[in-house]
């Protein structure tokens, strides 16, 4: 399970690691974060769910947009 970042240095470290992931690995990570977010919300851990949501938004922002035909 990925833990939410607590400090700026931890956030920067996570950003560096994510930047090195392939597109497929980023998609897999997004899917895993979404599952964890839903599980946290189901368990009434709303702060944790919000942290995971924020991580997903940050990760999705680092991915190139899909080109539309």
Evaluate whether residue 66 is within a structural domain. Answer: no
Evaluate whether residue 29 is within a structural domain. Answer: yes
Evaluate whether residue 2 is within a structural domain. Answer: no
Mean pLDDT of 29-41: 95
Evaluate whether residue 68 is within a structural domain. Answer: no
Evaluate whether residue 51 is within a structural domain. Answer: yes
* The pLDDT of residue 52 is above 90: yes
The answer to whether 4 and 48 have CB atoms below 8 angstroms apart is yes
CA distance linking residue 63 with residue 29, whole number of Å: 12
* The pLDDT of residue 33 is above 70: yes
**What range defines the domain where residue 15 resides?**
8-61
Mean pLDDT of 44-61: 92
Overall pTM surpassing 0.75 (yes/no): no
Evaluate whether residue 54 is within a structural domain. Answer: yes
Mean per-residue pLDDT over the chain, rounded: 81
Mean pLDDT of 17-42: 92
Mean pLDDT of 21-42: 93
Evaluate whether residue 3 is within a structural domain. Answer: no
CA distance linking residue 64 with residue 69, whole number of Å: 15
Q: How many domains does the chain have?
A: 1
Q: Which residues are CB-neighbours of 59 under 8 A, at least 6 positions away? A: 18, 26, 29, 30, 33
């Amino acid at each position: 399970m990925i833990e939410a970042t607590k400090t700026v240095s931890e956030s920067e470290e996570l950003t560096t690691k994510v930047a090195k992931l392939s597109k497929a690995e980023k998609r897999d990570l997004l899917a895993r974060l979404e599952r964890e977010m839903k599980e946290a919300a189901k368990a009434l851990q709303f702060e944790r769910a919000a942290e995971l949501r924020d991580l997903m938004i940050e990760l999705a922002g680092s991915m190139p947009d899909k080109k539309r035909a």
